[in-house]
Amino acid sequence: ATQSWPGFLDEGEALLSLAMLLRLYLVPRAVLLRSGVLLNASYRSIGALNQVRFRHWFVAKLYMNTHPGRLLLCLTLGLWLTTAWVLSVAERQAVNATGHLSDTLWLIPITFLTIGYGDVVPGTMWGKIVCLCTGVMGVCCTALLVAVVARKLEFNKAEKHVHNFMM
């Protein structure tokens, strides 16, 4: 006879609870429709002349150009919360693991920022895979942040002329 632990999910329930993450494919569509790019006649006419398709990537580039800080903050927080929840579901199978959401809400940002104190570690194979993916996502978001900061610190055209004249 198998012993049932209260509060723990069996594998079938864990897979079904992770399947609801498939609804996240609706987020880019909602952002596209909310952006107003499709409703703006100027965007549509100039886009048609230049053969630009208004898809999700165009809106992501548009937001990255106009609001880079806000976009990176929302992306980072969304990734943290999503992966923390996935990790808590993956770790619920293991006894004495990081199955509590409070532990995963600590572990994910520490892994995302590649700090890795080692006080909380995943106990299952799926938990380790989630943490590995979190580290890769953290490196990618850090690279985006460095690119945004470098672009903001760059001289504009007038400042370049003054600097070159004074050298």
Assess contact for 107 and 87: CB atoms under 8 A. Answer: yes
Choosing from 46, 66, 86, the residue where a domain stops is 66
Q: Do 72 and 133 reside in the same domain of the chain?
A: yes
Q: Do 50 and 94 reside in the same domain of the chain?
A: no
Q: Do 127 and 75 reside in the same domain of the chain?
A: yes
State how far the Cα of 40 lies from the Cα of 94, in Å rounded to an integer. Answer: 52
Q: H or E stretch including 8?
A: none
**pLDDT tens, per residue, the chain with 167 residues:** 455 555 455 677 778 888 888 898 899 999 999 988 888 899 889 999 999 998 999 999 999 999 999 999 999 999 999 999 999 988 887 766 666 888 999 999 999 999 999 899 998 888 999 999 999 999 999 999 999 999 999 999 999 999 999 98
Q: Do 72 and 140 reside in the same domain of the chain?
A: yes
- pLDDT, one tens digit per residue, over 73-122 is 999 999 999 999 999 988 887 766 666 888 999 999 999 999 999 899 99
State how far the Cα of 44 lies from the Cα of 53, in Å rounded to an integer. Answer: 9
Task: Determine, yes or no, domain membership for 18.
Answer: no
Q: Do 48 and 96 reside in the same domain of the chain?
A: no
Q: What is the pLDDT of residue 82?
A: 94
Task: Determine, yes or no, domain membership for 112.
Answer: yes
Q: Do 44 and 99 reside in the same domain of the chain?
A: no
Residue 159 CB burial class (10 angstroms; 0-12, 13-18, ≥19): exposed
Q: Do 93 and 144 reside in the same domain of the chain?
A: yes
Assess contact for 114 and 107: CB atoms under 8 A. Answer: no
Q: What is the pLDDT of residue 3?
A: 54
3-state class (DSSP) for residue 95? coil
Q: Do 104 and 45 reside in the same domain of the chain?
A: no
Q: What is the pTM of this model?
A: 0.79
Choosing from 48, 66, 84, the residue where a domain stops is 66
Q: Which domain holds residue 32?
A: 24-66
Q: Do 56 and 97 reside in the same domain of the chain?
A: no
Choosing from 34, 49, 66, the residue where a domain stops is 66
State how far the Cα of 13 lies from the Cα of 89, in Å rounded to an integer. Answer: 10
CATH number at residue 85: 1.10.287.70
Task: Determine, yes or no, domain membership for 128.
Answer: yes
Q: What is the pLDDT of residue 1?
A: 47
> Number of structural domains, the chain?
2
